[in-house]
Homo-oligomer: A and B are copies of this chain.
Amino acid sequence: MRITAVYERSVPLDSAIANAYIDFRTMTASVVAVVTDVVRDGEPIIGYGFNSNGRYGAGGLLRERFIPRLLQAAPEDLVNGGGDNFDPFKVWDILMRGEKPGGHGERSVAVGVIDMAMWDIVAKVANKPLYRLLAEQIGDGSPDERVFVYAAGGYYAPGKDLSQLQEEMRQYLGMGYTHVKMKIGGVSLDEDLRRIDAVLTVVGDSSRLAVDANGRFGWDEALRYAEALKPYRLFWYEEAGDPLDYALQAALSEVYPHPMATGENLFSHQDARNLLRYGGMRPATDYLQFDCALSYGLVEYLRTLEQLGRFGWSSRRVIPHGGHQMSLNIAAGLHLGGNESYPGVFQPFGGFSDHLAVDNGYVRLPNAPGIGFEEKHALYDLLRTLTP
């Protein structure tokens, strides 16, 4: 049982949208295909992985360091003790050989992409959907059969006015979502409040609307927004300040009594632990959004979840960033609180199986072995072009 080839490519995330920090028109994602010599139905089993939005593809790092380490490893160092499947934990150790501690960014994307492909392989070899395999091998044996998802959108775009923003949110509700998210911080507070008011005329219940500043605010502005948002009692107020400014997050907890959410720009269990140690976040109120595809994959995510337990957090307070099927499987298999979803953007990566509609804010899991990419045709059409 061995890996016979690894293919990677950077593809554009062609979205004419912007949040408070970046213009997605220049954003890329890495996609990889890890080919094995395990034959199923006459074809070799292939695992696929990609990184979610917000960070760039890691093609250079994959080619320079991580794919060579994987291909140069002895086959027996990549499989489990029984020799009947690959072992993502051993693969992780191989990938991280010669890497110093600290500095968790970029390489965390490269490793996350390969880790995703390895879990896809492991579940395909075991011939079951990944969420079931995770529940059996790591969780309590009993996966969730549906996962809460919310529609992340409300981006700034050139010429986009309030009625277009409302129409976007109306579409999400029409698709079956109950909760939606919009960006703030790209315009003035007054204008953002008008945007929020406009969206609430569509969404109705303010506890179903989250707002996301993408880490743009300094202390004054973060606190000013907190004051202005307080009366709305929103679903959550996300990433107000710099993701590493734990003191700001803690200060917000002092003045903002409603849910806050952050974590998508922390890429290791050490960074996550620092947020829990110093960020003043409240296990009964707040949400954590770590994204395995940007942060060394599921192997590292399990270490992060272990830290959560130590700090008194339930896994149900975790609703990952990224809107991809890997996190959907983790959410169902390990009882997270839900998953982000980008019904309108970041295609073909955003969204889940083609034939599984969102129903009253929940989505069901694919039945295909692996992560389920084969049930999302636009994505699978791209992934299958990776191999010759």
Name A residues whose Cβ lies closer than 8 Å to a Cβ of B. 10, 21-23, 26-28, 54-61, 63-65, 98-108, 214-216, 242-247, 265-268, 270-271, 273-274, 277-278, 294
Closest 4 A-B residue pairs measured CB to CB?
Answer: A60-B60, A103-B105, A102-B265, A106-B106
The CA of A257 and the CA of B277, in the complex, are separated in Å by 25
Residue of B nearest to A274 (CB): B244
Given A60-B63, A61-B60, A64-B59: A104 in contact with B101 (beta carbons within 8 A):
no
Q: For A104, what are the chain B residues with a Cβ–Cβ distance below 8 Å?
A: 103-105, 244
Interface of A, helix, strand, loop or mixed by DSSP: loop
Nearest-Cβ distance from residue A159 to partner chain B, whole angstroms? 21
Subset of 6 A-B contacts with CB under 8 Å:
A27-B98, A28-B64, A55-B100, A60-B64, A244-B268, A244-B271
A267 to B267, CA, bound (A): 14
Bound CA span A59–B65, Å = 11
Report the Cα distance A58→B57, complex, angstroms. Answer: 14
Chain B hits for A56, CB < 8 A: 64-65
A28, B98: Cα distance in complex, Å: 11
Would you call B61 and A267 a contact (CB within 8 A)? Answer: no
The distance from the CB of A240 to the nearest CB of chain B, in whole angstroms, is: 12
Copies in the assembly, this chain: 2
Distance in angstroms from A60 CB to nearest chain B CB is 1
A98 to chain B, nearest CB (A): 5
Whether the pair B266, A246 counts as a contact (CB closer than 8 A) is no
- Residues of chain B with a CB closer than 8 A to A22's CB: 98-100
Q: Is the CB of A214 within 8 A of B26?
A: no
Given contacts A23-B98, A61-B106, A244-B271, 12 further A-B contacts (CB under 8 A): A56-B65, A57-B64, A58-B60, A59-B64, A60-B61, A60-B63, A60-B64, A101-B242, A102-B266, A103-B104, A104-B105, A244-B273
With contact pairs A242-B101, A274-B244 given, residues A10 and B265 touching in the complex (Cβ less than 8 Å) = no
> Which residues on the B side are within 8 Å of A23 (C-beta)?
98
Which residue of chain B lies nearest to A22 when distances are taken between CB atoms in the complex? B98
What is the bound-complex CA distance between A268 and B215, given in angstroms?
16
Given the complex of chains A and B, what is the CA–CA distance between A277 and B247 in angstroms? 9
For A278, give the chain B residue with the smallest CB separation: B278
Contacts of A26 in B (CB 8 A): 98
- Chain B residues within 8 Å of A102, by CB: 105, 215, 242-244, 265-267
Residues of B within 8 A of A268 (CB): 244
The minimal Cβ–Cβ distance linking A246 to chain B, given in whole angstroms, is 7
Per the bound structure, the CA–CA distance linking A278 and B280 in Å amounts to: 14
Residues of B within 8 A of A214 (CB): 100
Residues of B within 8 A of A106 (CB): 61, 103, 105-107
**Which residues of B have CB within 8 Å of A246?**
274, 277
Asked if residues B100 and A215 are in contact (CB atoms below 8 Å), the reply is yes
Residue among A57, A105, A214, A266 having the largest count of chain B Cβ atoms under 10 Å: A105
Shortest beta-carbon distance from A322 to chain B in Å: 13
- A16, chain B: closest CB distance, angstroms: 14
Cβ of A245 to closest chain B Cβ, rounded Å: 6
